[in-house]
Structure 1
Amino acid sequence: MKTAILLAIGCVTVSVTIAGFSAGARLLLGLRIGRIRAAVTGSVGLFATVLFSRTVHSGDRGALITVEIGAVLLLTMGFLAASEVVLPSGSWPSMLRLPRALRRRIARARRYSQLSAIAYRHGLGRLLRAKGRAPVTGPAGHHELARSLRRALEEGGATFVKLGQVLSTRHDLLAPGFTEELSNLQHQAAPALWEDVAEQLRQEFHRPLESVFARFDPVPLAAGSIAQVHRARLHSGQEVVVKVRRPGCRPVVERDLDILCSAARRLEERTAWGRAAGVDALARGFAESVLEELDFRVEARNTAAVTARHRDGKVLIPQVFPALSSEKVLVTEWLDGRPLSASGPGTEGRAADPTAVARTVLDSVLRQIMIGGTFHADPHPGNILLLRDGRLALLDFGSVGRIDGQLQARLRDLLVALRRADAAALCDALLALANQPEEIDQKELERTLGLFLARHFSSGTSFDRTAFNDLFRLVTAHRLTIPNSIAAAFRALATLEGTLTRIAPDFDLMSEAKQFAWTQVTESASPPKLAGRAADELLDLLLIGRRLPRRVDRITSAVEQGRLSVNVRLLGNRQDRGFLQTLVHEVILTALGATTGVMAVILLSTARGPRITSSVSLFEVIGYNLLVVSAILMVRVLFTIFHARRRQPPPPG
């Protein structure tokens, strides 16, 4: 019985000691920790107590018991601080996932090695070693490097082919030789095994295919790097198109995007041409776009958004079946026609006038850009159908662009300025549209734009692709940065130009676009539109006018009575207040720690003083305790500094 009581007392004492040291270390460091870390920390304190007790209590030095407790607490704090830095709180789940993460890292390293070998095999190592603005000079060097880049992207796989196709439309970033070479990129993917596709469909529908479709063609209509398309029929008799994501493609695409973004960050850090082109932001924007294409629910929402703003009977948008669509499957109505990729000069098929077809498609896309705000960002010939009744249809809204009303107005101003050949208006439109550097010579920019307009608009010349490229190079030379949404709109128009000139070689896209913008401006200046805007403005003025007399009366009364004051809130931002509070807190702790440390050294160096025991003086007891307090305060300050730096988010870009 006595043994059991002693054992219970011992267990309680050990538990209280562990909990006490753990709570003390946690409170002194200002941390919230889990039970496992708390138990381990308290156990370290208990072990340190046993070691210190054997040393400090030798002889008659028991008067230093408070120093012993403080030293043990200091050691416990040091252990907790070190464990938090090495293995932060909340990282245990990551440790449990370590084997799988390690396998992913090995696969990523293997893929990175493959891509590096492809790059160096095609002579692209000079891009990584280039310290200047460009790795090569001269037309011959650009042509050779562009060809090497295209071949490397083709060998790299679907993700890098899509990147090259996007870059082929960025005339503001790349020289014409690069954009022309990258426009030849093609990627024909082999269809996935029907058994794998059927199994994925059964998993998505949670039932057999026969209960969903009356007929399903296992041979795909088209196969891409991310998805393939099948034709099917519902039990209602409705003909539909089923778009299925390729099984197992998401991990591969995510891995390639991770490698691409990592390489872009390194290029921007190590090369001047990478910083000038902003390759990191370009890669991140491309990655976001591709990840959206992997989720067919995004495409369904995009289709619904464009359909809601698109009321044109000449260009159809296929209906989506939301009940049958998911992240990996998209079901839309079947439209009977053939893509414009099967048409060409003289083979326009059912269309009586190829120019009318081109103008209809352009009008639809421009309305999406300048009126709707959500537009098809990839209108290549395979995504435009020519139907049996002569109408057109837009397909595949996996890649869309979004542009707000303010940028829509700026884009219209830009096209109107081009139509009028007004250098001053064009300069104002560009400066309102683009992101400007800190210092820009507007006079020089306006003169350069005047020469540009004189070169490309004199003697009745048209605004062709060459002029378009010259405008982008001019923007780049003056360090103006086009917003991503506007770049997406220009990219869509550049893709559409190649599509439309395929069926109507003489079609002038830019002239039609300028005319469209001019029509929108003139319509907005019509009497009914002006009257509507004037009524809205008048209503706003009336609301302001109703409140104005009361506010004026309050101000004049305050002035008359001498009570007029201005309230200024210093440090109104919560982050600013938190930063100042932390700064003051750490400065005070540092001053206290330094002061107690100096006082401890002074007391310990004093030989005289009242004795507590034969070998310990009062000054020693106070000095050692102050030394422990100083050490605890310094550990707290150092931990706060390094822990805050560790948790600080990385700098943007």
Structure 2
Amino acid sequence: MSRLLGTPHDLGRLTEISSILIRYGFGDLVRHLGLDKMVEKVGRILHWKAAAEYVHLSAPQRIRRALEDMGPTFVKLGQILSTRVDLLPPEYIRELEKLRDKVPTIPYDALVAEVEAGLGFRLTDAFALIDEVPLAAGSIAQVHRARLLTGEEVVLKIRRPGVRAVIEADLRLLMRIAELAAAEVEDIRRFHPKEVVAEFSKSIHSELDLANECRNAERIANSFRDNPNIHVPRVYWEWTTEALNVQQFISGVPGSDLAAVAEAGLNMKTLAARGADAVLEMIFQDRFFHADPHPGNVFYLPGEQLVFIDFGMVGHISLSRRDELVDLLFGVVEHRAERVAEILLKWANAPRAENAQLVGQVDAFVDSVHGVPLKDLNLSAVAMDLIAVLRAHNLTLPPDLTLLTKAFTSLEGMGRQLDPDFDMVSAAQPFLRRLILERYSPAELAQRVRQGFLDGLDLATGLPKDVKDLIGLTQQGQLKLGIEVKQMDHFLDRLDRSITRVTIGIVIAALTMGSSIVMTVSGIELPVGLSVFALLGFSGAVVGGLWLIFSIWHGRKD
């Protein structure tokens, strides 16, 4: 168990986590990992019956409650898991989506000490007013309203002191637990715990750098600079650091307060349409998108204008991935099951030959929606059904697609909250149609031909060097060629038997002909010995012929 521990703090933290898991009824998991023995060694008294208090909770509820009790790092982990629809069933996703940063606020003086030490001056020297009562408090940062010396209203997002060290320790522990779980518990192994923790580690490290959120915000703001209906708060870089970001304060109607939206007289259908267009433009045109566009991250302004905030979680997809998304959707609509299965297997990095059953299930699914007009297709339902097929085969999606699925789900939920008749596919149709037309436009085809020519030219010009390197490896004895052909042993065995039969056939023919010539020569008196040899040769030919016939007949059954 020593491989789990890095510092004395890790030991105490591991004990705390084990106790929480036990309290929520996961004692079997703790015992299976051997953590209970380690905890007992440090003197912690475990009350195994404590889990009875939570027997009325479902398994997803117990997991959510346990993550909440284990602290901010694990709450963030649960939030990441809520995006992994390819790993967890819908009931777990719905429960984990309830996870919010429920952390107490800390006094302003304690909050800013670390930031001011990094800046080299007091924040009160740079801002005319700072409201010490926070607007919001999260596990990583706390938000306060302020005013610049120039009079502009801003919000300060200030990282909690010491949070990086705490998160680093928890990440170290999480990875060790994930490695142990993957090695010891088969039921957990199918969820790819090490890969999930690695993805989570990358995400939370990005969130720890508060300046990174501002870079994301500016990139998206630049995309909508010509759209008067979409706003992103301005970033004040002169005050922004890794531990502090300063953004424009925009007063609007919270997207989560529908009563206030109605009271403000805003047209909800227009808000839903404009919000969907904005997110779909991020995805299909810019390929850099807000990964969690839920109502809490949106404000509404007069004139049905929208303000997007909180760009800590963003997604990016490549050009090829975007084209695959379009192909997948049209493959479903046009009943091209082979193409749909091909894309899914590529996403899951799985060999087609070993997933014939998956291909069959995809074909059945595509057949079930065949004939449904594109406008009547529920995009989120289609995505969830296809992901359920992958999950049944223990296949997972790459991280960029899990964030994309999360964005689609959040967008559709927000759209239908504003407009019960909101149709995601109808909103996406113009983007999809435009992409199809662009893909087969003369300019795009010419670009592909040009790129193909350049790739071929690179291959041709690089070929001499590659051949030279290959010859060099051969001369040095470092080149090894391995060819593996399935069933080669069986093939060679059959070939060997065939050659043997041909050889015996030739010998039999020779014996028969020779014996016949010797025994039928007329007018010549043969020595007794020669007649005997002729008879033996003829008999041997008969026996060999019978064996050959039997061997051929028996070989056909192999």
Query: TM-score, normalised to structure 2's length?
Result: 0.72
For residue 105 of structure 1, what is the amino acid of its counterpart?
A: T
**Counterpart residue number, 1:124:** 26
Aligned mate of 1:273, from 187, 195, 210: 187
Whichever residue aligns with residue 533 of structure 1, its letter is E
Does structure 2 retain, via aligned residues, the 8 Å contact 1:169–1:494? Answer: no
Q: Distance in 2 between matches of 1:415 and 1:328?
A: 42
Q: Separation in 2 of the partners of 1:459 and 1:130?
A: 49
Check whether the contact 1:128–1:267 (CA below 8 A) recurs between aligned residues: no
CA contact (8 A) 1:212 1:234 kept: yes
Aligned position for 2:318: 404
Aligned to 1:449: 362
Equivalent residue for 1:199?
113
Percent identity among equivalent residues?
A: 32
Aligned equivalent of 1:532: 443
CA distance in 2, matches of 1:547, 1:163: 45
Deviates more, 1:535-544 or 1:464-473: 535-544
Whole-angstrom distance in 2 between the partners of 1:291 and 1:394: 22
Identify unmatched segments of 5+ residues in structure 1.
Answer: 1-102, 132-140, 556-564, 579-653
Report SS of the residue matched to 2:102: coil
Go from structure 1 to structure 2 and tell me whether the alpha carbon gap of 1:208 and 1:171 turns closer, same or farther (over 3 Å shift): closer
Q: Which one-letter code corresponds to 2:275 in the other structure?
A: V
User: Post-superposition shift, 1:525?
Assistant: 5.0
Q: Which residue of 2 aligns with 1:355?
A: 269
Does structure 1 residue 333 correspond to structure 2 residue 234?
Answer: no
Choose from 395, 418, 426 the match for 1:503: 418
User: Matched residues in 1 for 2:60 and 2:380: separation?
Assistant: 19
What SS does the corresponding residue of 1:159 show, helix, strand or coil?
helix
Deviation of 1:211 (Å)? 2.7
Aligned-partner residue type, residue 412 of structure 1 = V
> 1: CA distance between counterparts of 2:233 and 2:82?
28
Displacement after TM superposition at 1:276 (Å): 1.6
Q: Hey, what's the Cα distance between the residues in 2 that align with 1:465 and 1:536?
A: 33
Alpha-carbon deviations, 1:436-456, whole Å to 9, x = none? 1474334x4343123223445
Tell me the CA shift for residue 395 of structure 1: 0.9
Structure having greater relative contact order (Cα 8 Å, sep ≥ 6): 1
The aligned counterpart of 1:384 is: 298
1:277 is displaced (CA, Å) by 1.6
**What TM-score does the superposition give when structure 1 sets the normalisation length?**
0.62
Contact in 1 for aligned 2:333/2:369 (Cα 8 Å):
no
CA distance in 2, matches of 1:200, 1:156: 25
The alignment partner of 1:303 has SS state of helix
In structure 2, what is the Cα distance between the partners aligned to 1:568 and 1:359?
58
Counterpart amino acid of residue 321 in structure 2:
L
Could you say if the C-alpha distance between residues 453 and 353 of structure 1 is closer, same or farther in structure 2, counting changes exceeding 3 Å? farther
Q: CA deviation at 1:203?
A: 2.4
Gapped runs of 5+ residues in structure 2? Answer: 34-54, 480-558
Amino acid aligned to 1:251: A
Alignment of 1:317-332 (within 5 A): 317-332=232-247
Asked if structure 2 preserves the Cα contact closer than 8 Å seen for 1:379 and 1:495, the reply is: yes
Equivalent residues, number: 449
Change (3 A) 1:376 1:572: farther
- Cα shift at 1:330: 0.2
Amino acid across the alignment from 1:491: K
Change (3 A) 1:546 1:403: closer
* Gap change, CA 1:439 and 1:453, over 3 Å in 2: closer
Do the aligned partners of residues 505 and 331 (structure 1) sit closer, same or farther apart at CA in structure 2, a change above 3 Å counting?
same
SS in 1 for 2:190: helix
Counterpart code for 1:499: M
Letter paired with 1:569:
L
1:410-431, CA deviations, whole angstroms, 9 ceiling, x for partnerless residues? 1222223234454233223323
* Equivalent position SS for 2:300: strand
Instruction: Give the deviation of 1:538 after TM superposition.
Output: 5.7
* Residue aligned with 1:392, SS: strand
Q: Distance in 1 between matches of 2:304 and 2:167?
A: 38
Task: Give the match for residue 256 of structure 1.
Answer: 170
| 1:546 positional shift | 10
**Is 2:164 aligned against 1:245?**
no
Per the alignment, residue 159 of structure 1 pairs with 73
Q: Out of 231-240 and 107-116, give the one that drifted further.
A: 231-240
Contact 1:437 1:479 in 2 (8 A): no
Deviates more, 1:279-288 or 1:355-364: 355-364
Q: Matched residue of 1:240: which SS? A: strand
**Are residues 1:416 and 2:318 paired?**
no
Which residue matches 1:134?
Answer: none
Q: Is the 8 A contact 2:83 2:402 kept in 1?
A: no
Give the counterpart letter for 2:24 in structure 1: H
Cα contact 1:169–1:495 (8 A) shared by 2:
no
Greater Cα shift, 150-159 or 494-503: 494-503
Alignment partner, residue 111 of structure 1? 13
1:480 and 2:391 are equivalent in the alignment: no
Aligned partner of 1:493 in structure 2 is 408
Q: CA deviation at 1:466?
A: 5.0
